[in-house]
C-alpha cells in the first residue's frame, strides 16, 4: 500500500507472493530510490534504454538529475519522470473495473462427438462463466457465446441476459447448438 498509484504498484511488486508492504506518506522518495528506473511509468523500452545509455539505472539517479536536463532529453515527459522519481504521482487511483469479457474453455483429448457429453460440458462452462459474471458484475448484461468449429469461430449474434445460467444455457442450446450440429 502506498500514498499514490506509482508507490502502490511498486509496493505490490515487492509484496508478491502473499505479503503486504506499507509505504508511509512522506517516505515515497526513499522507498523508490533503490528501484530500477524501469519501475517508473513511461520508462519502458525507449526511455529506459536511453537512461541506461546515460548510466542512469536507479530511481534515485533520476531524482538527482536537474529537470531542465530531463526535459531536454525527453521533453515534457522528463518533468513527469522527475516528479515520479520523487514519489509524486498525480494519476488518479481507479477502483477495480470488471473485465470487458470472460472466457471459459476446455479441450478434449481425444476429440469427442458425443452430443450428451458436449451438452453437459457446455452447461458446465456456462455455469462457471455465468456465476463468475454474476459475482463480479452483479447485474444482468448481454452476453455472447463463441464456439470454435475447426478453424472458424462462430459467434451467436443473439444477446442473452446473464441473470441466470438457465437463460444462457437455453440460448446456447437453441441458438448456437443447432448451428454446431448442422455443420458437423
Count CB-CB contacts under 10 A for residue 51.
Answer: 24
Q: What pLDDT does 170 receive?
A: 56
Task: Quote the pTM value.
Answer: 0.52
Question: Can you list the domains of the chain with their CATH numbers?
Answer: 5-85 (1.10.150.20), 115-183 (no CATH)
Q: Which of 129, 123, 104, 133 is nearest to 171 (CA)?
A: 123
Q: Give the residue ranges of the chain where pLDDT is below 50.
A: 150-163, 165, 175-184
3-state per-residue secondary structure call for 62-108: HHHCCHHHHHHHHCHHHHHHHHHHCCCCCCCCCCCCCCCCCCCCCCC
The pLDDT, as a whole number, for residue 140 is: 60
Query: 32-58: per-residue pLDDT in tens?
Result: 999 999 999 888 889 989 999 999 999
The pLDDT assigned to 53 comes to 92
pLDDT in tens, 15-34: 877 788 888 888 999 999 99
Amino acid at each position: 500500500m502506498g500514498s499514490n498509484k506509482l508507490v502502490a504498484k511498486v509496493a505490490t511488486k515487492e509484496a508478491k507472493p502473499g505479503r503486504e508492504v506499507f509505504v508511509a506518506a512522506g517516505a515515497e522518495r526513499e522507498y523508490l530510490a533503490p528501484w530500477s528506473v524501469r519501475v517508473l511509468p513511461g520508462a519502458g523500452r525507449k526511455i529506459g534504454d536511453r537512461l541506461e545509455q546515460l548510466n542512469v539505472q536507479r530511481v534515485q539517479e533520476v531524482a538527482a538529475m536537474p529537470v531542465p536536463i530531463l526535459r531536454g532529453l525527453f521533453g515534457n515527459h522528463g518533468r513527469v519522470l522527475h516528479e515520479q522519481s520523487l514519489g509524486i504521482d498525480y494519476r488518479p487511483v481507479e477502483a477495480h473495473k470488471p473485465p470487458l469479457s470472460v472466457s471459459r474453455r476446455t479441450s478434449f483429448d481425444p476429440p469427442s462427438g458425443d452430443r450428451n457429453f458436449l451438452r453437459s460440458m457446455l452447461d458446465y462452462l456456462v455455469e462457471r462463466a455465468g456465476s463468475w459474471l454474476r459475482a463480479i458484475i452483479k447485474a444482468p448484461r448481454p452476453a455472447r457465446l463463441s464456439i470454435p468449429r475447426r478453424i472458424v469461430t462462430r459467434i451467436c449474434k443473439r444477446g442473452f441476459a446473464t441473470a441466470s445460467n438457465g437463460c444462457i444455457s437455453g440460448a446456447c442450446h437453441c441458438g448456437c447448438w443447432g448451428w454446431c450440429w448442422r455443420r458437423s
